[in-house]
Structure 1
Amino acid sequence: MIRAVLFDFDGTLADTAPDLGHALNRQRIARGLSELSIAQIRPLASAGSRGLLGLGFNIKPGDTGYESMRDEFLNFYTQRLCHDTCLFPGVGELLDELEKRNLPWGIVTNKPARFTHPLIETLGLAQRVACVVCGDELANTKPHPEPLLTASTKIAISPAHCIYLGDDIRDVQASLAAGMQPIVARYGYLGNDQPPETWGARYLIDHPKELLAYL
């Protein structure tokens, strides 16, 4: 029996790609490069600064100049954190229904706390969410199971009774390692070379409200 639902944030609960993309394009314009389209940006948005800087500048952690580029990107993102970011269509209704059924819901994300908590507040979720676990709060991030197990402890519900909904292969890997039921948000960013059908999740959904069928 499912007693709680946990969500990834970027690409699952909230569409943050427009504001993340704005920060990346601001960097590109400053260097005389053309803007990337939202269609190009969206698949890499769940990978945060690492994925987007790789897309925009073919640079990766450890490369010369990466840290300064990352700091600039995060500074630009902070300045426009929730301008175009919004909940995915249907997420609001899904959360309403979970609360009607007295099912707690939480957020487990690799996104740092300094971005996650202001977004949750601005989106009107801070007083509703049962727990929030951010990427810089623990020793390990997804795909390690520690963040999901920490969330399970916070809400005092066994992992076996939790669903984890995410849009990245790391979400499925973390969920399986934690002993939770993974479901793939096929409406999300899906920034991986492997099709989501091959990630190891039994269920995939194309709209947030489809999750209700698995409760």
Structure 2
Amino acid sequence: MASHRTALRPTGSTSSRCSIQTEAQMATQNRKRGRLPGSDPTSAEDTTIRSRLLSLQKGVGCWHARVVTPQALIFDLDGTLVDSLPGIADSLTRALASLGLPPHKRLAIRGFIGHGARGLISRAAPAGSAEPLLAALEQAFKADYDLTWQQGTAVYPGVAGVLAHLQRRGIALAVLTNKPHAFATSMVGSLFPALTFAAVLGQREGIPHKPDPAGAIEIAATLGLPMSAVTLIGDSTMDIETARSAGMQAVAVSWGYHDRVALEASMPDALIDMPEELLASWV
């Protein structure tokens, strides 16, 4: 793990510009690997991703500090890989209505996400709600969400292609989320059928959830990797805190549900605005 973090600066600053290979550099690497032009069945997709990467050199929003090439990437789920806000908001609204409780605007619900099902319920229920009401609301939400989440959940544009590209390059992929474990495994399996994840861990009974580093450490142990060889990627300051507590690199994404200013203040190793920027320093 890098021993020093620098302040994040936008593209345009020489010291923080993303390190992106040129086509010529990529061709040289392919020759060293014994790969001839046109011989790679994935070259068309790789070229598309490469073109988008090269365009980032002229764009705005590529934030980059010192990032060491990882052997594995652990991703948060909600707000990082998938936009699940519509499904969560709709299920929560119906659950509240079923118990005669007032609804919340979607913007407010956006701020409830990331703390697990009970955290979501605790924030949505009226202040001072007793445990029986919280338990009933949580049960109603989970029952509804189990049947309807697919109607309100979508993979963020560009994410699936980037994950496939990373996997082809030999980087192990994993998911660590505070979403209940059964929902997490079902969602990842349904939305990313062509990908292989080394681990998918959601919130489990008796296991502390993020920002506790237990899940991240468990994934690294499963992979047989030191913490310094793993990068954790997420849309919240909780993900940054989890990475630091585990001794891993932290990459924050700006397209999720959490405030960009707070992400910047937490000083992740990198802050990115597009999924393709995940490849900028690593391929």
TM-score scaled by length of structure 2: 0.68
Query: Is 2:86 the partner of 1:18?
Result: yes
Offset of residue 141 of structure 1: 1.5
Separation in 2, partners of 1:60, 1:8: 30
Paired residues of 1:45 and 1:191 also in contact (CA < 8 A): no
Offset of residue 59 of structure 1: 4.2
Residues 125-144 of structure 1: matches in 2 within 5 Å?
A: 125=193, 128-136=196-204, 139-144=207-212
Separation in 2, partners of 1:60, 1:213: 47
Cα deviation code 1:13-70 (max 9, x no counterpart): 1111111111111134345667544333223222343443344333478655211111
Separation in 1, partners of 2:114, 2:138: 15
What amino acid does structure 2 have at the position aligned with 1:96?
Answer: A
Paired residues of 1:44 and 1:189 also in contact (CA < 8 A): no
Specify the alignment match of 2:237 in structure 1.
169
Partner of residue 155 from structure 2, selected from 76, 79, 87: 87
Separation in 2, partners of 1:60, 1:82: 32
Paired residues of 1:120 and 1:126 also in contact (CA < 8 A): no
Cα deviation code 1:121-173 (max 9, x no counterpart): 21134751121122206632211111101111112222101111011222111
Separation in 1, partners of 2:182, 2:128: 22
Query: Is 2:271 the partner of 1:211?
Result: no
Specify the alignment match of 2:182 in structure 1.
114
Q: Which moved more, 1:119-128 or 1:169-178?
A: 119-128
Offset of residue 179 of structure 1: 0.9
Separation in 2, partners of 1:214, 1:62: 50
Separation in 1, partners of 2:249, 2:159: 19
Query: Is 2:218 the partner of 1:186?
Result: no
Residues 50-89 of structure 1: matches in 2 within 5 Å?
A: 50-59=118-127, 63=131, 65-89=133-157
Separation in 2, partners of 1:198, 1:31: 39
Q: Any unmatched runs of 5+ in structure 1?
A: none
Matched residues, percent identical?
28
What amino acid does structure 1 have at the position aligned with 2:251?
Answer: I
Offset of residue 198 of structure 1: 1.5
Determine helix, strand or coil for the equivalent of 1:81.
Answer: helix
What amino acid does structure 1 have at the position aligned with 2:208?
Answer: N
* Larger radius of gyration between Structure 1 and Structure 2: 2
Paired residues of 1:61 and 1:67 also in contact (CA < 8 A): no
Separation in 1, partners of 2:217, 2:77: 17
Paired residues of 1:165 and 1:182 also in contact (CA < 8 A): yes
Paired residues of 2:209 and 2:215 also in contact (CA < 8 A): yes
Q: Which moved more, 1:203-212 or 1:126-135?
A: 126-135
What amino acid does structure 1 have at the position aligned with 2:81?
Answer: L
Q: How large is the Cα RMSD of the aligned pairs?
A: 2.5
Paired residues of 2:73 and 2:231 also in contact (CA < 8 A): yes
Q: Any unmatched runs of 5+ in structure 2?
A: 1-68
Specify the alignment match of 2:11 in structure 1.
none
Separation in 2, partners of 1:28, 1:93: 37
Separation in 1, partners of 2:152, 2:251: 26
How many residues in Structure 1 have an aligned counterpart in Structure 2? 214
Separation in 1, partners of 2:262, 2:250: 15
Specify the alignment match of 2:267 in structure 1.
200
Separation in 1, partners of 2:135, 2:106: 24
